[in-house]
């Protein structure tokens, strides 16, 4: 029950809205994992180049106001276009900070 309460208190809709606003033809979102226990979002994305992924992560970092932690980069050498995948995550602000800024309780 406690985990469900933490999940309900996290600002998932705002984070998903942000991802939708940053939609790009250069970036394909492959997976999105919401971790209420750690108050973190982990995602995997793919692009034609690592530079495009890095630019996307930097943009998210600026919009989120939180550090994006890069977990893994890999290039698919089997594919002629050699797309690059990256896995990264970021933490949600503490509930007290969100309440002070007028966010979710």
pLDDT of 2 over the 80 cut:
no
pLDDT of 44 over the 90 cut:
yes
Instruction: Evaluate if pTM is beyond 0.75.
Output: no
CATH superfamily of 2-100: General secretion pathway protein M, EpsM (3.30.1360.100)
Q: Considering only CA atoms, which of 79, 72, 20 is closest in space to residue 50?
A: 72
CA distance 20 to 63: 12
pLDDT of 62 over the 80 cut:
yes
- pLDDT digit string, tens, across residues 63-104: 877 788 888 889 888 888 888 999 989 887 665 444 444 444
- Domain boundaries defined on the chain: 2-100
Instruction: Give me the helices (H) in 1-105, please.
Output: 2-9, 12-21, 50-64, 95-100
CA distance 63 to 57: 10
- Higher-confidence position of 101 and 37: 37
């Amino acid at each position: 029950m406690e985990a469900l309460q933490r999940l309900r208190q996290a600002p998932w809709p705002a984070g998903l809205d942000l991802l939708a606003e940053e939609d790009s033809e250069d970036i394909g979102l492959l997976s999105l994992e919401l971790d209420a226990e750690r108050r973190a979002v982990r995602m995997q994305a793919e692009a034609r180049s690592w530079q495009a992924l890095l630019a996307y992560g930097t943009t998210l970092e600026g919009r989120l106001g939180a550090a994006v932690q890069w977990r893994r980069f890999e290039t698919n050498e089997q594919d002629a276009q050699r797309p690059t995948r990256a896995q990264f995550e970021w933490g949600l602000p503490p509930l007290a900070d969100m309440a002070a800024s007028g966010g979710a309780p």
